[in-house]
Amino acid sequence: MITLRNVEKFYEAGYGRTYVLRRINMEIKEGEFVTIMGPSGAGKSTLLSILGMLDAAWTGEFEFVGHQVHRMKPKDRVELNKKYIGFVFQSYHLIDNLTVYENLDIPLSYRNVKSSERAAIVCDSLDRFHIVGKRDLYPSQLSGGQQQLVAVARAVIASPKLILADEPTGNLHSSQGKEIMELFKKLNEEGTTIVQVTHSHDNAAYGHRVVNLADGWIV
Amino acid sequence: MHPLVGDLRRGVRQWWKSRGLAALALVALALGIGATTAIFSVVNAVLLQPLPFRDADRLLAIFEKNIPQRKSDLYAAGINIDEWRRRSLTVSGVAAIFDGKMILTGGPGGRMEAEELKSERVSANLFPLLGVHPVLGRGFLASEDVPGQSNVAVLSYELWQRRFGADPSIPGKSIRLRGSSYTVVGVLPAGFSLIEPGVDVWTPLNFDINDPRVASGRSLTAIARLRRGVTFEQAVSEFDSMGASLEAAYPAIDSGYRAVVRPLAEQIVGKTRQALLVLLAAVGLLLGIACANVANLLLARGATRRKEIAVRAALGASRLRITMQLLAESVLLALAGGALGAVLAAAGVTLVKRLGPANLPHLAQIHADWRLLLFAVVISVLTGVLFGMAPALQISSGNLNAALVETGRGGTVGRSGRMLRSGLVVLEIALALVVLIGATLLTRSFNRLRSVNPGFDSSNLLTSRLPFSAGRNAAPPRRVAFLRAVMPQLAALPGVRSVGASSGLPLVGLDAGVMFAVADRPAPPPDQRPMALTRSVTPDYFRAMGIPLVAGREFTDADTSRSPAVAVIDQALARRFWPGASPLGGRLALDWSPPVVAEVVGVVGSVKPETVQGEDWATIYSPYDQRPTPATNLVIRTAGEPLALAASVQGEVRRLDPDQPLVQMQTGDEIVAKAMAGARFNTLLLGLFGVISFVLAAVGIYGVVSYDVGERVQELGIRMALGAQKSDVLSLILGHAVRLAALGIALGLAGALVLTRLMESMLFGVHPRDFGTYAAAAVGLAAVALAASYLPARRAMSLDPITALRHE
Amino acid sequence: MENGSEALIRLDQVSKVFITDEVETHALAGIHFELKKGEYLSIAGPSGCGKSTLLAILGLLDTPSDGVYYLNGKPVTGLKLSERARIRNREIGFIFQAFNLIGDLTVYENVELPLTYRGMPGSERKRRVQEALERVGMSHRMKHYPSQLSGGQQQRVAVARALGGDPLILLADEPTGNLDSANGEAVMSLLKELHTAGATVCMVTHDPRYAEFADRTIRLFDGRIVEEQVEPAAKH
């Protein structure tokens, strides 16, 4: 599904290049659940952004479900993101002035789904994640765990093939974190490929394998 | 060093760091403060300051009106002034004024260069009635107000300074006016001005009620003083009932006439009041826009500094310290804006003085009002303080940690701050639209005004007054002879096409009029005898002026004092008295003394006598030879630039008679421009305000959208991560701007519907609710709002999602 | 280590509850510990365990929902805002993960900032700022702005800013979180050096490598202290 060859990312600083990622080669197959680990500043989040087409300033080759991403225009990369990828962030990244319902609706609004269908999909999702009672609340009215639940629901609402999760339990209590991880496991068993970044070995245990990063290198 | 000094120094540096923002705020403040102060200073001097007379609110101006003919503000007849003096119980001391012109030809030191002065013959009780004391010498004595004793004069302060070198010993010395010797008895205080501005010399009226011309002629302005304990309404009703009994006593003079009594102050400022109030409203709106703008900029700046403020608090800055620092910055900005505004206000007042129409009362007394400046600065300081301290208030909520680790929870910024700023921008757009609509209405009205045909061709036309009121050309036969001598000389000058002369010019004033009737028809009752303007003109006058001949003939050199009386009438008169028929050969009975019957030999096009927007007046032209008037104007049609001929025209007149003054040389275009000066002035100022408010609104919406983008960076990052294309981002940002603009425009349209009613009397040929104007202004403002938001929207589109997500 | 000396910091059954419309979140529950003068304490635990909330309370940036916090023997939980600001200014030196230098001010002015809030005379401020910058090896960059420095350099300036006020205690919240490992190491050895010279340090980190720099580590999990250990590596 994903192949990275010699992917590198650096900043031109005044005194030379600062590398964030160096010579990354990796392959992820469809249906895998991969964990990326490493200390702060190792480049984990950057790698995740590149996989998610959010970051276009890198060198090397990146093949994604048969597309040569490194040869694609930004607009088409966004289309790949739309079609295949869902994101979960450590700090949830729900939009504060939209309700739970409206937050879930955002990805659909960018995907040419008819509005009648959109309503149906959002309602299904509210049911599936047991958050029907929260549909008209704003994120600030929810606990962290509930917010992350909504964020996961939003990530999978457009049925992505790949979920990218950046420290999804980082801001949560252990019990809430466990709930989210169980949810990922279930989604993975249903066929969704998952790549997560985490500091937690417990969370890593939910996945199939671990990629360790340090100072931009795979170790 | 006191901490406050440090705060001020840091304040200067903070603003220097964000100098773009500071410059915008400064410009907004300076424009708002400057314009408000300048216009308010004018309004204050003209409308609000009491007239510089004793108990000025008890002074009245009295005119007459003819009820059947619906003409108001006519001068009063001498007999009526005499009767009011004797009969009235509500007013004391009715003074009378007769406007005129006098030629000054000599001073205490002998001959002086001739100058025509605006003069007034006044009754001796005028100055005591007003409570005005001469700064030098005295006013008139009652004993001087009789024929034979009246060769005394009072000078204006300005004339005394200008022509007599402020000679303190001038009282008692003699000067030459209209060819006779007058003894100067006094000099009035600087800036003295009653109804007519710019008068330089006063002489006694010589009110002789036994002279039938004085008794029946309507030529006097009356000023009176309400007695103590009497109300204005009582005076009005008394003059009404006196009118009824005077009508019975003097049917030949007073049939159909009544007095018009109004407060002197209203008489003086009445005409300009509406325009000034509209301008004042406009600058008020402008100040509102400026304050909203500054508030917005400060709020936006506060939002970006939340984190900095939180860091400072974490390092131990107390709330007081932070408040003081923000306060210092806000006050600094407001004071700088106030200083710039003061400069603009001073410049604005100078501009008003230079551009203001000459009939704006008290023009000389206008100066920038520093109390008002202070008021405007205080308003802006308050705005600055109120909105500049928003970040300090947020600290009081105690949640420092949340601000420090803002990315920690949630991430995107809440609703209340944005609501406030959006509200301000909506307000700004609404106010700007009101000003803009007002300005557009006035501009359209002015364009209509300019396209009105005044009835003559004003281009390539040179005019000049040639007064015959004194000197060797004063006698009627000499007037005719002088004109006959000078006109061929002038016509022979290279570049001159034709030369004419007339007693009165279009757009300069109603001038002389006469009551008349069509002879051979049943005579109307005395109170219904129609009135027409009269002009004495030479044969070439119509050609020189470009006034078209519609029927019959012009005058010829054969129309002399020895030939039968003839008249040329204008179309307005022809249409009224010979509807559908030819007036040629008709005869007019003119109530001159002695009465004259003249045959109509021609019809010419109507001209506007007074103002471009005013109505046409029926006009009767007589051959100059048959009725030589002392007031004469030369009109010269030129081939090229008219003023290029000024010197040679002057030369020809001098050559014939070096003592004959030729004054007030001006082109036809200048006459038209003067007639529209008031409208031009209002249009210019309101247009300027329109442009300013347009710019401020654009800056405002740019600022709010720009900071909106800044605050929503993370949200935009999230949306991009969720698959938003650049076009989605663009429509999200522009959509916000469009909603604000639409709301502002809706409010502004509603406001304009209400406020433009104020302008009704200022508009000519444009309805205050002219749909096209409203639509154009709204579309223009909407376009500017969109353009202003496109820049930040573009910036939003080019955001890098990953940086956006990490944005703090 | 129980040598009876007066504790610089004592937390007595401190808890913190965040209440929103719908839910109560217990960020801290019944935290109880002491910190003596000259100690180097590290607070460790996974993300979301309550470390940052605890540090915010220690720094008087936040107030506990329950319990008492004694600083230098005096309870500081119920103080007025202005008094809290004064204590933050005089007794506490902060080092943040994101450096939090003020971008509009030079290095010198950033370090000077807390001192200006004390009404200290200019000459005294100048001496202190220079001394603090020398201690972190940044005195040659005094006139530069934060944006002209690397992350490691910025954090050294932030340490100097915390030192300049001669605080009772240095509070560091993931000071290496935004740095690569080389720069992170450098900042950690700087803190260690300061500690050796007598400073009291309290640091939050979830990086086990850096926890070892401390004398003592408290582990938090779901808002509770689950383990307290003396770092063997820190014995000297």
**Residue B386, pLDDT score:** 75
Asked if B308 reaches chain C (Cβ–Cβ under 8 Å), the answer is yes
Helices B264-304 and B319-355 meet at what angle, rounded to 10?
A: 140
Longest dimension (CA), chain A: 56
**Residue B394, pLDDT score:** 59
Q: Does the pLDDT at position B413 exceed 50?
A: no
DSSP string covering B47-110: IISPPSSTTGGGEEEEEEEETTTTEEEEPEEHHHHHHHHHH-SSEEEEEEEEEEEEEEEEETTE
Identify the weakest region by mean pLDDT among A48-57, A63-72, B397-406, B450-459: B397-406
Q: Residue B477 has which token pair?
A: 């036969």
Distance CA B629, CA B475 (A): 10
ipTM of the predicted structure?
A: 0.73
Asked if C221 reaches chain A (Cβ–Cβ under 8 Å), the answer is yes
Distance CA B328, CA B341 (A): 19
Number of B/C CB contacts below 8 angstroms equals 72
Q: Does the pLDDT at position B335 exceed 60?
A: yes
Nearest residue to C58 (alpha-carbon basis) of C218, C185, C177: C218
Beta bridge partners of A194: A33, A163
Distance CA B348, CA B346 (A): 5
CB B286 within 8 A of CB B374: no
Nearest residue to B602 (alpha-carbon basis) of B566, B539, B552: B552
Distance CA B718, CA B408 (A): 15
The residue ranges of every structural domain in chain A are 29-56+73-218
CB contact under 8 A, C102 and B408: no
DSSP string covering B719-757: HHHTT--HHHHHHHHHHHHHHHHHHHHHHHHHHHHHHGG
**Residue B183, pLDDT score:** 93
Residue B120 one-letter amino acid: E
* Residue B489 neighbours by CB under 8 Å, 6+ apart: B652, B655, B656
Q: Does the pLDDT at position B710 exceed 80?
A: no
CB contact under 8 A, C61 and B404: yes
Residue B446 one-letter amino acid: F
**Residue C233, pLDDT score:** 52
CA angle (B595, B601, B607) in 5-degree steps:
90
- Residue C234: pLDDT band (50, 70, 90) is very low
How far is Cα of residue A5 from the mean position of the Cα atoms in its chain?
A: 21
DSSP string covering A1-25: -EEEEEEEEEEEETTEEEEEEEEEE
Nearest residue to B239 (alpha-carbon basis) of B83, B67, B129: B83
Asked if A158 reaches chain B (Cβ–Cβ under 8 Å), the answer is yes
Q: Does the pLDDT at position C209 exceed 90?
A: no
**Residue B362, pLDDT score:** 63
Distance CA B697, CA B683 (A): 20
pLDDT digit string, tens, across residues A120-167: 999 999 998 888 989 998 888 888 888 888 998 998 898 899 999 988
Q: Residue B187 has which token pair?
A: 């000099």
* Residue B179 neighbours by CB under 8 Å, 6+ apart: B103, B105, B470, B471, B474
3-state secondary structure of A211: strand
Distance CA C29, CA C13 (A): 8
Asked if A148 reaches chain C (Cβ–Cβ under 8 Å), the answer is no
CB A55 within 8 A of CB A9: yes
* Residue B736 neighbours by CB under 8 Å, 6+ apart: B705, B708, B789
Beta bridge partners of B97: B122, B221
3-state secondary structure of B192: coil
Contacts of B718 in chain A (CB under 8 A): 93-95
Better pLDDT: C4 or C25: C25
CB B137 within 8 A of CB B152: no
Instruction: Give, for A177, the enclosing helix (H) or strand (E).
Output: helix A174-189
Better pLDDT: B65 or B213: B65
CB contact under 8 A, C113 and B312: yes
3-state secondary structure of C13: strand
CB contact under 8 A, B319 and C63: no
Contacts of B715 in chain A (CB under 8 A): 95-96
Residue B634 one-letter amino acid: L
Distance CA C91, CA C72 (A): 9
**Residue B412, pLDDT score:** 39
3-state secondary structure of B765: coil
**Residue B603, pLDDT score:** 96
Q: Report the mean per-residue pLDDT for chain C.
A: 85
Q: Which stretches within B636-676 are classed as H helix?
A: 646-656, 668-675
Q: Report the mean per-residue pLDDT for chain B.
A: 84
**How far does B386 lie from chain C, in Å, by closest CA?**
22
Q: Does the pLDDT at position C93 exceed 50?
A: yes
Q: Is B742 exposed, middle or buried (0-12, 13-18, 19+ CB in 10 A)?
A: middle
The DSSP letter of residue C142 is: T
What predicted TM-score, i.e. pTM, was given to this entire model?
0.70
CB contact under 8 A, A89 and B723: no
For chain B, count helices (H), then strands (E).
Answer: 25, 23
Architecture of domain A29-56+73-218: 3-Layer(aba) Sandwich (3.40)
Asked if A161 reaches chain C (Cβ–Cβ under 8 Å), the answer is no
Taking CA–CA distances from C84, the nearest residue in chain B reads B316
pLDDT digit string, tens, across residues B436-472: 998 889 888 888 888 888 889 999 999 998 888 666 7
Asked if B1 reaches chain C (Cβ–Cβ under 8 Å), the answer is yes
Q: Report the mean per-residue pLDDT for chain A.
A: 88
pLDDT digit string, tens, across residues A62-105: 999 999 999 998 888 888 888 899 988 887 888 877 889 999 98
Q: Does the pLDDT at position B538 exceed 90?
A: yes
Asked if B459 reaches chain C (Cβ–Cβ under 8 Å), the answer is no
- Residue B363: pLDDT band (50, 70, 90) is low
Contacts of B808 in chain C (CB under 8 A): 98
Residue A90 one-letter amino acid: Q
Across chain A, the runs of DSSP E, i.e. the strands, are 2-13, 16-28, 33-37, 59-64, 67-68, 85-88, 162-166, 193-197, 209-214, 217-218
Across A29-176, the runs of DSSP E, i.e. the strands, are 33-37, 59-64, 67-68, 85-88, 162-166
Residue C192 one-letter amino acid: K
Give the best residue of B9, B16, B304, B315 to mutate against chain C (max C CB count within 10 A). Answer: B315
pLDDT digit string, tens, across residues B755-770: 888 888 788 888 888 8
**Residue A64, pLDDT score:** 93
**Residue B411, pLDDT score:** 34
CA angle (B395, B400, B403) in 5-degree steps:
100
- Residue A205: pLDDT band (50, 70, 90) is very high
Cross-chain CB nearest to B728 (options A91, A110, A144): A110
DSSP string covering C17-39: EEE-SS-EEEEEEEEEEEEETT-
Cα distances (angstroms) measured from residue B372 to each of B41, B382, B614, C121: 8, 15, 37, 42
Whole-angstrom Cα Rg for chain C: 18
Q: Residue B138 has which token pair?
A: 């005295």
- Residue C201: pLDDT band (50, 70, 90) is very high
Nearest residue to A167 (alpha-carbon basis) of A188, A207, A195, A142: A195
Instruction: Give, for B447, the enclosing helix (H) or strand (E).
Output: helix B416-451
pLDDT digit string, tens, across residues A175-184: 888 888 998 9
Taking CA–CA distances from A147, the nearest residue in chain B reads B410
Cross-chain CB nearest to A137 (options C22, C174, C207): C22
- Residue B406: pLDDT band (50, 70, 90) is very low
How far is Cα of residue B567 from the mean position of the Cα atoms in its chain?
A: 37
Across B524-648, the runs of DSSP E, i.e. the strands, are 531-537, 549-552, 566-570, 587-590, 596-604, 619-623, 633-638
Distance CA A22, CA A19 (A): 7
pLDDT digit string, tens, across residues B590-603: 988 788 999 999 99
CB contact under 8 A, A41 and C223: no
CB contact under 8 A, B412 and A154: no
Cα distances (angstroms) measured from residue A16 to each of A10, B37, B600, C150, C151: 10, 58, 102, 12, 14
Q: Does the pLDDT at position B1 exceed 70?
A: no
Q: Residue B631 has which token pair?
A: 């007031």
